[in-house]
Chain A
Amino acid sequence: MAIISKKNPADLIFSFVTGVASFSVIVFIIGIFSVLISESSLALRHFGIVKFLASTDWDPVKESFGALTNIYGTLVTTILSLVIAIPVAIGIAIFVTEIAPGFLKGPIGAAIELLAAIPSIIYGMWGLFTLSPIMSTYVEPFLKKGTAGIPLLNILFQGTPMGIDILTASVILSIMIIPFTASISRDSFNLTPAVVKESAYAIGATKWEVIKNVVIPYSKLGVFGGIVLSLGRALGETMAIAFVLGNNHRITTSLLDAAATITVTLANEFAEADRDIYLSSLFSLALVLFVMSFVTLAIAKFFLLKAERKYSR
């Protein structure tokens, strides 16, 4: 119900200025998209779109570039970090909403959210100097020994534990995305009507059964949206893993090998790309990442909006 008084020119000017400011968001999105397409067209035309996406080459000397190793690294680290983060995040949400005594709910929730405020470069520093040595001396040899005799699993832990590898990067990523999943899950859990929970308690359900059979099914849309949102954030995380991933352009099956993600490749190579085709290939990677994360985030937003509509009814 907007009212613009047509008589007042100042009102028209103000509405126009605010309108321009809000349309800047659309301009940025279209701008990023079209600039990335035009900058990457050289490489995509030279190599062919399908070939570029499917090629595992990344050789600046021979000027032969393909995105697959980077996409593979991005997907593997993201999925592994989600596998680690989701159970922990949902556990945190359960603790904060159902278990913690009233006076602890606020402070613990706020403390977990502080994890999201720490800049990613700090995670990177900490990962390189503190977590990586711990991983290579204690965690990785332990996992290697534990899985030694088990077929399939032992493939995941082949090689020398160096601490600069997919596993360490995924652990850091998982710590970074826990607060996102946890806070959205907590908000969704909190929306479960007390009456529904109380009815379950009244027929003799235990606390865990109420959570498992009432709260989680009721809030699954929101929780799922939160998970997809974290996925979108993990895809684009750069500085936290730039130190500990090793920038290795090969597809490896072991989690103890160095790898490269799109973001890490961009961070390490963009400023020193000296030839047009090299730079254009990097722009193509940026385009792939932009499309991947934009689509993921749009899906997340779709589920969160759907959840919001469901709960507000």
Chain B
Amino acid sequence: MTRELKRKTEGSVALSLSTLAALSGLFWLVFILGDVFVHGVKALNLSLFINDPVPAGAEGGGLRNAFVGQLMITLCATLIGVPTGVLGGTFLAEYARGRKIARIISVLSDIMVSVPSIVIGTFIYAILVKPVGHFNGWAGAIALSIIMIPVVLRTTENMLSLVPWTLREAAFALGAPYYKVIIQVVYRGAATGILTGILLSIARVAGETAPLLFTSFNNSFFSWDMKQPVASLTVTIFQYAMGPYDNWHAQAWAASFMITIFILVLTIIGKLIIRWRYR
């Protein structure tokens, strides 16, 4: 074999392996999503949304309590996490711009984004469940908001930094104080970006299970009370999938399907907005 031929063969082998790797990535995506869709669609029915769970082993019933609980927990987490994250990001990009403290908080937030969510669950258990004496919905919402804050904070910081400094100077020249410049000029310029960050952070926490396992726990009954244990789709999936009953498994697939659709739609919208606005 000549040297040229050897180099060429080595090259084509390596490049085909890379192509194969990309195909395998796509394969897993299609396999997992396809599996969830096939099983999920089969298990979807109206009863799932309008009925509460029936006693274990009995046929029928639904997951109305879990859908409502999931919405409540995610909504409360968003109401706590989004303002804190946006304001925190504002501080880093505006008042502390270029300072050391801004860099430190950015780096720590990046680390917090990837800290195991189950650890945050144990932390919240220690401060919000143990003292109260029982699992409660607020604990779950706050655990999720702690996961959300660094995500929103970092995207807000990045999006605000993209707004040209000269725009702020133009507003200063009109005599506007800094907070007015931020609220009326900078936020307006970065609104789409911040919104995208919020969408992606909601997508991130909507599928979280681990931090809810011992904070909001689970509840087989319908309840609006955030001071009591609240059912969530994700924890219900965990419980039902591990359980022995076929209709539990079917309902777990249906719940997985709904959650996956919700998160994929949010993620894709978020990414489309980024592409449309920033490229």
Residues of A within 8 A of B (CB): 1-5, 8, 10-11, 13-15, 17-19, 21-26, 28-29, 31-32, 35-36, 39, 87-92, 94-96, 98-100, 108, 110-115, 117-126, 128-130, 175, 178-179, 182, 206-209, 211-212, 229, 232-233, 235-239, 242-243, 263, 266-267, 270-271, 282-283, 286, 289-290, 293-294, 297-298, 301, 305
B188 to chain A, nearest CB (A): 16
B264 beta carbon closer than 8 Å to chain A? yes
- Main DSSP-derived SS at the B contact region: helix
- Contact among B17, B95, B259 for A15, CB-based, below 8 A: B95
Interface of A is mostly: helix
* Residues of chain A within 8 A of B91, CB atoms compared: 15, 18-19, 21-22
**26 A–B contact pairs at CB < 8 A?**
A3-B172, A13-B179, A19-B95, A24-B88, A36-B123, A91-B18, A94-B18, A95-B21, A100-B22, A112-B29, A117-B263, A122-B36, A124-B241, A125-B256, A126-B32, A130-B35, A175-B28, A178-B25, A206-B8, A206-B11, A209-B11, A211-B14, A236-B114, A239-B210, A263-B210, A290-B119
Assess the B179–A15 pair: CB atoms within 8 A: yes
Stretch from B47-55, B189-197, B200-208 forming part of the interface with A:
B200-208
Q: Indicate whether B84 reaches chain A with its CB closer than 8 angstroms.
A: yes
Question: Which B residues, 94 to 145, have Cβ-Cβ distances below 8 Å to chain A?
Answer: 94-99, 105, 107-112, 114-123, 125-127
Residue of B nearest to A110 (CB): B271
Chain A residue nearest to B26 (CB atoms) is A111
Residue contact B95 to A2, C-beta cutoff 8 Å: yes
Instruction: Given A11-B178, A124-B241, A286-B122, decide whether A118 and B260 contact each other with a Cβ distance below 8 A.
Output: yes
| Interface flag for B155 (CB, 8 Å) | no
Report Cα–Cα, A19/B238, bound state, in Å. Answer: 39
- Contact A25-B88, Cβ < 8 Å, known A3-B178, A283-B122: yes
Other than the known A3-B172, A10-B177, what 5 A-B pairs have Cβ atoms closer than 8 Å?
A: A1-B97, A95-B19, A115-B29, A270-B121, A290-B116
Question: Which of the residues B35, B84, B123, B182 comes within 8 Å of A31, measured between beta carbons?
Answer: B123
| A25-B177 contact, Cβ under 8 Å, with A122-B260, A125-B237 | no
Is residue B249 within 8 Å, beta carbon to beta carbon, of the partner chain?
yes
Q: Are B90 and A238 in contact (CB under 8 A)?
A: no
Task: Say which one of B58-66, B146-154, B219-227 lies at the interface with A.
Answer: B146-154
C-alpha gap A32/B115 in the complex (Å)? 11
> What's the nearest-Cβ distance from chain B to residue A110, in Å?
6
| Among candidates A112, A236, A289, residue contacting B25 with C-beta atoms closer than 8 Å | A112
Are B111 and A129 in contact (CB-based, < 8 A)? Answer: no
> Which 7 pairs, one residue from A and one from B, show the smallest C-beta to C-beta distance?
A119-B207, A236-B116, A91-B21, A22-B88, A208-B11, A18-B91, A21-B87
If the complex has contacts A21-B91, A110-B271, are A301 and B107 also in contact, measured as CB distance less than 8 A?
yes
Does B118 lie within 8 Å of A236, measured CB to CB? yes
A297 CB contacts on chain B under 8 angstroms: 110-111, 114-115
Q: Are A271 and B213 in contact (CB under 8 A)?
A: yes
Could you tell me the distance in whole angstroms from the C-beta of A247 to the nearest C-beta in chain B? 11
Inter-chain contacts of A267 with B (CB < 8 A)? 118, 210, 213
B146 CB contacts on chain A under 8 angstroms: 28
Q: Is the CB of A2 within 8 A of B99?
A: yes
* Minimum C-beta distance from B128 to chain A (A): 11
Contacts of B162 on A, CB cut-off 8 Å? none
Which of chain A's residues have a CB closer than 8 A to the CB of B90? 18, 21
For the complex formed, measure the closest distance between the CB of A239 and the CB atoms of chain B, giving whole angstroms: 5
Q: Of all chain B residues, which has the CB nearest A115?
A: B29
Nearest Cβ on chain A to B100's Cβ, whole angstroms: 13
Contacts of B177 in A (CB 8 A): 5, 8, 10-11
Please name the residue on chain A nearest to B85 by beta carbon: A21
Any chain A CB within 8 A of the CB of B167?
Answer: no
In the complex, the answer to whether A125 meets B115 with C-beta atoms within 8 Å is: no
Q: Is B253 an interface residue (CB 8 A)?
A: yes
Q: How far is the CA of A233 from the CA of B113 in the complex (A)?
A: 10
B41 CB within 8 Å of chain A: no
* Residues of A with C-beta under 8 A to B45: none
A residues less than 8 Å from B87 (CB atoms)? 17-18, 21-22
Min Cβ gap A4→B in Å is 6
Q: Which residue of B lies closest to A33 (CB)?
A: B123
